[in-house]
Amino acid sequence: MMDSQTEKLTEPLGLSLLDGGGVFSTWSETASSIDLHILDPEDTSVSLHVLSLEQNDGGIWSTGDDRLQTGIKYVLRANGPDGPRHAFQPERNLLDPYAKGVLRESPSDYHCVAVDRGFDWESVQKPGTAISESVIYEAHVRGMTRINPAIPEEIRGSYAALGHPATIEYLTNLGITAIELLPIQTFISEPRLVNLGLINYWGYNTINYFSPHMRYASEATRAQGPEQILRELKTAIRELHRAGIEVIMDVVYNHTAEGGSKGLTYSYRGLDNSSYYRQDDEGNYHDTTGCGNSLNFAHPMVQKLTLDSLRYWTEELQIDGYRFDLAATLARDEHNYFNKEHPLLKAMQSDPIISQAKLIVEPWDVGMGGWQTGNFPPGFPEWNDRYRDSVRTFWLGDISQARSSGNHSNGVRELAGRISGSQDLMNERHGPNAGVNFITAHDGFTLWDLVSYGVKHNSANGEGNRDGANHNISFNHGYEGETPNPSISYARRKAARNLMGTLLLSAGVPMITAGDERLKTQGGNNNAYCQDNVITWQHWDPTSHQLDFEQTVSHLIALRKQYPALRPRNFTKVDEPTPESDQMLWYSVRGDEMTIDDWHNTERRTLQRLAYHLMNDGSKQGIHLVINGTEVVKNVTLPRVKDIEEFELLWDSSLELPPKRSIILKAGAKLRMVETSMQLFIVR
């Protein structure tokens, strides 16, 4: 027999449509009454019917009624006790936390819509790409297609444009296996931004976890309402799946758009402020997100909200994976401490539906003990910020310092650890694919700005350039911003190729930020969260150099897919490769094995990495990477290794385009390495 706690965790919440009516349930431990108002479809300020919900065990409030049907517009109203932890406003319209359709009536007033969720998936299945085979492309639904001339103007910037053949062809040609979308669950802009004439463009301000953001539907679809918005999004996902491209959602379960204790009330605060949000007895919020509030994941019903939402998107919309924003907050216990054995994490892993999705975490928040990279349990690949910083430092920070002081701060030891899978961080995990490697993300400089600006330029954000990170590990190569100087421009493009090449030739899961493949600039803005304009939109009129760079990225992705030695599933060893473990060997500029001095000398910045993979037929596949991390031409001796006769060039970062002819060097030959460059070989 189930106890009341178990029963309420399994009971379906929200509106369940049945033949001849429906059943509605919501949850509040502290409310004294909750009503469901069915609104006049022509004038939503008028309530046609008021249904009083009955309180059951475990804080569940329910009603059944034949007027609960597809298409109705409805809101909730709740009353309850006064006190510092409570925020009941009995006349305030509230969103159903489980609403599958949401409409905006005014800047501060929204209502729910009961939708028919039926859809024909046309037997298209999820691609099911292994995480070890994944190449992730982080993109913004609107910004990706807003000015793409290959897409009809009336649908640009929409879900329909996301699923348009032109978008899919572009992603396919690039070699992307998964598109990771910035938040598409219904969100709103903060009042401060609205007062500045700006909006929350990125979308990390969620107001409802079950409905798609209405603004991303095409105009014609928006006019038809939430049901058609849902269908437009499902159609885009289906067509991406048909092309073999997975869809990953960036989800923001750590906080809501209701802000701090004096913020507006839309849903959760008006239903049960005391239970949904972390706060002390005086009602002061414990904010570990920097956004005004933090959901209380020590409470089983907050965990249930998250799990039910994930299950809904995974089943109903066929989503392939999630990236959890500020995920350390999701794993904080009743004492607000991070706990890698948190019940929510365990529930995700054990759930037969959720566990089939990719569960990628941003392993930090802004609370005490918030940096948890490497500490999440197996099954939760983590954004690897150490990888980002180490690679930027090697190719940009150290080069900048060497120009000014004549000395580098780092040799090759740190870089070697990162490109081989960050075993120091992930050593108890499931190998290198426990880490998602990235050089850039939506937050920060674009790749081109990283090599073109030394400081941020965020004046357009209306905060006097105070917002955004100051520590970027960027390098402008001698001039701030765009320059007509061809030598500086070439050095920047080469640096960008080195950064992208390092990313795509490293062990671990690579994530590319949309637009970086065409060297997109944001004019030095490293916090463009409020810019819905050409600053953030992807450009579709590339220069010849940008097209060359795109070809380079596509070439590198193709090499990664072609050669398993570039994407080991487990941490490598120095022994002969086995079906379980690849082999990785390291050589110096002299062609011999690295010495202790080679590893620890900050001025030894030339490195050779030989990786072997055991193929199914028993043969060994060998891939050799050579790195020159100095602004000096290096003559590198290729190693003499048993069974290797020659090295065939696959890629050279000093070239604007992938090599057009075969270049073969004998084992032990001298290799001329252009300053700050990389070369990749297949060995035979």
Active-site amino acid positions? 325, 362
DSSP state, residue 212: B
Q: Which two tokens stand for residue 133?
A: 């085979």
Q: Measured between alpha carbons, how far apart are the two ends of the chain, in Å?
A: 66
Tokens 């414990």 belong to 286
Q: Which residues contact 2 (CB under 8 A, 6 or more apart)?
A: 10
Maximum distance among all Cα pairs of the chain, rounded to whole angstroms: 85
Instruction: Kindly tell me the sign of the dihedral angle through the C-alpha atoms of 417, 418, 419, 424.
Output: positive
Alpha-carbon dihedral sign for residues 68, 73, 76, 77: negative
CA–CA distance, 446 with 520 (Å, rounded to integer): 7
Cβ of 481: how many Cβ atoms within 10 Å? Answer: 13
Q: Could you tell me if residue 492 is left (phi over 0), alpha (psi between -120 and 50 degrees) or otherwise beta?
A: alpha
User: How many whole angstroms separate alpha carbon 598 and alpha carbon 587?
Assistant: 9
Tokens describing residue 53: 């919900």
CA 643 to chain centre: 42
Three-class DSSP category at 73: strand
Phi, psi of 475, rounded to the nearest 5 degrees: -155, 120
189 neighbors 206 (Cβ within 8 angstroms): no
Phi-psi category of residue 379: left, alpha or beta, with phi > 0 → left and psi -120 to 50 → alpha: left
Quote the CA–CA distance of 357 and 351 in Å, as a whole number: 10
SS3 state at 20: coil
CB 252 within 8 A of CB 302: no
**680, containing H or E segment:** strand 677-683
| Nearest-angstrom CA–CA distance, 115 and 237 | 19
- Identify the CA nearest to 27 among candidates 9, 41, 43, 44: 9
Rounded to the nearest 5 degrees, what angle is found at the Cα of 460, between the Cα atoms of 458 and 462? 95
**Contact by Cβ (8 Å): 282, 288:** no
